Chain A
């Protein structure tokens, strides 16, 4: 298998009539998905004379967005999903970095999309294109498994988001391992929570595709009203969820299972931020027969590189391990002098090698070379590893346990954020003298310390909203008249931390 679309071809053949993807408005069978994908692919090949170039998908989350993704892939280009709620200033940074060949959007966002590219395609028109099988085949036959399939943007510490480029080979490797080891089958109904511009959604989208299961999109407002959420799972006989712990907390905090306990649920997969033991225990007590899996991995290794089947209750103060590597992936710890760690309880940096490694950051060679590096344990031949910047240790069962970050990257409500990106946005405001961002892990809050006479809190908030994703907006603003500085001119983080 060389191309991720082969999953779609197989599913459309094996289960053409089956509901593949649905949300409240739209439902796609595998057959219809393939038809729309071919129409979009035909249109792109006919109109764009390029290969292996990025195409932005600027649409809300829906099965249609998936048809747009795979239409790009059919034309041997790659898709870049962007959050439609992203502020214009941040989109412009991405467009500048990406120089997209085109943007695919729908009627809702057509006018906005035209700001970012001269080449805007309208989804509603694309799907009406007569399919040209010969044209599609000729293009498809040239594709390589080392071609990029998508770029996902993640927070960058210098203020410019980083685009992680992933190849077909990595994605196929990831899905094959995941479906096999976690045991996803065609009878599963997967309820999607994560946005498509976030790698957590890959499991929902591609597990369904790989085994012709069904994926449904949970309406976002259900995550604010637990009874609606649980009714939805019950009604659609959902068997599998891969959610961030913050979303699972929505149920445990309100003791939702006392009202509705969806009967078909049997695989509960979580990751992307640390799981509070209280939340996990509540779910586990209500689903003693279900399989609980904690997964771990950054976007740079295509989503997930370790997993741990959680089979017992945990006590407050214990940490659920992130476990062991998926097959065809090696995960190891290096100490500060790049020596391999094998003893329990010694902290080191998590490093990853295998086909799961991304192709690097898009149009950011230097940034890529900092973290995708030659394996320091192998001087003999070219072998790349990815240095995650995450610190972990082994427990007595030789399972990995996450400890902390090496730098100023945080996980907040399931999102990966570089505090530097927030600081850069704050410092870019006129008359801002100093800005430093800290994360108060105990209270789960982003705290911005700043020094200026030009803004009150409300004005500062408004200004930041124009530059940052909503989940990056600080929760606490602390204005200081006397900003603690180090002699090198940087903010004194230690002194600021004491003010939390």
Chain B
């Protein structure tokens, strides 16, 4: 989780990732932020994130992203 927050902070250091639950829905992250974050997640955790995973529910909060990464690591 710490590593994920570190990656998220590299695009938007001002966000409180403990409480924020609208990263995509509130357009805090634009498409370029998404590309950057997902690129780093795929490299860091050696996972593949596909279009099916890239839905707002999986990316609206740090917690949701952590769960997605965990599920993908198990696959």
A contact residues vs B (CB 8 Å cutoff):
220-221, 223-227, 230, 246-247, 249-251, 253-256, 258-260, 413, 444, 457-458, 461-462, 470-471, 475-476
Are B51 and A475 neighbours in the complex by a CB distance under 8 Å? no
Among A246, A247, A254: residue with most chain B CB under 10 A: A254
Question: Does chain A have a CB within 8 A of B72?
Answer: no
Which of B11, B14, B51 contacts A227 (CB under 8 A)? B51
**Distance between B42 CB and nearest chain A CB, rounded to angstroms:** 8
Are A250 and B31 neighbours in the complex by a CB distance under 8 Å? yes
B45-75, CB < 8 A from A = 48-56
B contact residues vs A (CB 8 Å cutoff):
10-11, 13-14, 24, 27, 29-32, 34-36, 38-39, 48-56
Are A475 and B29 neighbours in the complex by a CB distance under 8 Å? no
A39, B1: Cα distance in complex, Å = 57
Are B24 and A225 neighbours in the complex by a CB distance under 8 Å? yes
Are A227 and B52 neighbours in the complex by a CB distance under 8 Å? yes
When distances are taken between beta carbons in the complex, the residues of chain B under 8 Å from A225 are 24, 54-56
The closest CB in chain A to the CB of B40 belongs to A443
A39, B29: Cα distance in complex, Å = 39
Are B24 and A246 neighbours in the complex by a CB distance under 8 Å? no
A251, B29: Cα distance in complex, Å = 17
A471, B32: Cα distance in complex, Å = 9
Which of A223, A260, A470 contacts B31 (CB under 8 A)? A223
Are B39 and A461 neighbours in the complex by a CB distance under 8 Å? no
Prevailing SS type, chain B contact patch: loop
Among A224, A258, A260: residue with most chain B CB under 10 A: A224
When distances are taken between beta carbons in the complex, the residues of chain B under 8 Å from A462 are 14
A227, B56: Cα distance in complex, Å = 11
A300, B11: Cα distance in complex, Å = 31
20 A–B contacts, CB within 8 A, in A order: A221-B27, A223-B31, A224-B29, A224-B31, A224-B34, A227-B54, A230-B51, A247-B31, A249-B35, A250-B31, A253-B39, A254-B38, A254-B50, A254-B54, A256-B51, A259-B50, A458-B13, A458-B14, A470-B30, A475-B11
The closest CB in chain B to the CB of A471 belongs to B32
The closest CB in chain A to the CB of B32 belongs to A413
**Distance between B73 CB and nearest chain A CB, rounded to angstroms:** 18
A191, B15: Cα distance in complex, Å = 32
Are B52 and A457 neighbours in the complex by a CB distance under 8 Å? no
Are A254 and B49 neighbours in the complex by a CB distance under 8 Å? yes
Not counting A255-B50, A255-B51, A475-B11, a sample of 6 additional A-B residue pairs whose C-beta atoms are within 8 angstroms of each other reads: A221-B24, A253-B35, A255-B48, A259-B52, A462-B14, A475-B36
**Distance between B11 CB and nearest chain A CB, rounded to angstroms:** 7
Which of A250, A256, A457 contacts B13 (CB under 8 A)? A457
Are B34 and A250 neighbours in the complex by a CB distance under 8 Å? yes
A458, B14: Cα distance in complex, Å = 6
The closest CB in chain B to the CB of A222 belongs to B31
When distances are taken between beta carbons in the complex, the residues of chain A under 8 Å from B55 are 225, 227
When distances are taken between beta carbons in the complex, the residues of chain A under 8 Å from B30 are 220, 223-224, 470
A250, B52: Cα distance in complex, Å = 13
Which of A258, A444, A461 contacts B51 (CB under 8 A)? A258
When distances are taken between beta carbons in the complex, the residues of chain A under 8 Å from B27 are 220-221, 224
When distances are taken between beta carbons in the complex, the residues of chain A under 8 Å from B36 are 444, 475
